[in-house]
Amino acid sequence: MAAAAKLALSHSITKSPSLCSFSKFTADSRGFSVRANACLDAVKQPMSTDLVSLEYADLNLPPADVGHVRIRQHVNPLSSSFSAPAPVPDWKEVFRDPTLPLMVDIGCGSGRFLVWLAKRNPDSGNYLGLEIRKKLVKRAESWVKDLALTNAHFIFANAAVSFRHLVVSYPGPLTLVSILCPDPHFKKRHHKRRVVQQPLVASILDSLVPGGKVFLQSDVLDVALDMRNQFDAESIVMQHIDEVDSSLPCDSDGWLLSNPMGIRTEREIHAESEGGTIYRRLYQKRTT
C-alpha cells in the first residue's frame, strides 16, 4: 500500500446472489434445464456487487449505505442545467490541511474509490471528487462525515466547466488527476459529450505541478483510445510512465498492465468479473 500512496500523492511535487425463483421456469424440460444450470452458475460465482463489497470491506460502510441510488446513468454534460460553474469551497473548512498535495478524480461516481484512498492515506494528501450526479455526491459526502475523514471532499460539478477554477483556487499542489471509466457516450453524435475534450486536457496540463500524474482508465477500447490520443498528443509536456518507471510495465500496445492505485474502482471490478479488459494509461508531467 505504501507504493500506492507514493504514486497517488508523493509527486510534489500520488449483495449475495439471490436464489432463483423456480416458479418463473417454463414447463418445457429443456428450458427448465437451461435456466436451472444458469441458476446454479449464479450461485457458484459471486456477483460483481459481492466482489465490490469484499474489496471495499475495510471501509465498514453499513449495507444500507452502499445500496443502489436511483440516478440517471447517462447525463448530458452539455445541458444548460450543468453549465454553471461549481462554487469554490472554503478549502480550510473541507480539508484539515489545504496545503497538502491534491488528487482530483473527475467523474468519481459513487466515490468509494476516493474514500478508500483518503482513509488509507490520512496525512499524505487530500482527495477531491467531481461528479455530475448530485445524489452520488450527497451520499459520498455522508460517507466522509461518517468516517470522520478530514482529507476527502466531493463536489457536484461538471468538470468541463468547473475543473480549472476549482483547482486554481486550491492552496496546495495538484499532483494527480484521474479519469476512470467515464461515460462512453457510444453514439458518434454524442462523442462531444465525453468528458475528455481538448479544453479539459489543457486545464489539467496547466494545473499539474511538474512530476504530477494523469491516470486514465476505461473498459471500452474506443473511449480509452480517445483519451489516450489526446494525451499522447501532449508529449512535449507529458510522458507515459513506462518512459520513466520500469516498475510499471505495459503490454505490447502500451496499456498499463495493472492498476497502480492499490485498489480497483467499482466499474473496474464489475468489468473484470464479466471477463472484460481494462485499458489504462498513466502520464507524468515533465519536470524540464
Which listed residue (183, 226, 232, 245) is catalytic? Answer: 183
The grid coordinates listed for 146 are 461518517
Written as nine digits, the cell of 7 is 504514486
Cis peptide before 13 (omega within 30 of 0): yes
| Cell (9 digits) for 80 | 444548460
Give bridge partners of residue 285 from the DSSP assignment: 238
Distance between CA 80 and CA 91 in Å, rounded? 27
Rounded distance, CA 282 to CA 253, Å? 14
Q: Where is 134: in which H helix or E strand?
A: helix 134-146
Alpha-carbon distance of 277 to 268, in angstroms, equals 9
User: What are 128's strand-pairing partners?
Assistant: 104, 153
Positive or negative, the CA dihedral 71, 72, 73, 76 is: negative
* 65 in active site: no
279: nearest Cα among 235, 233, 215: 215
Active site residues: 183
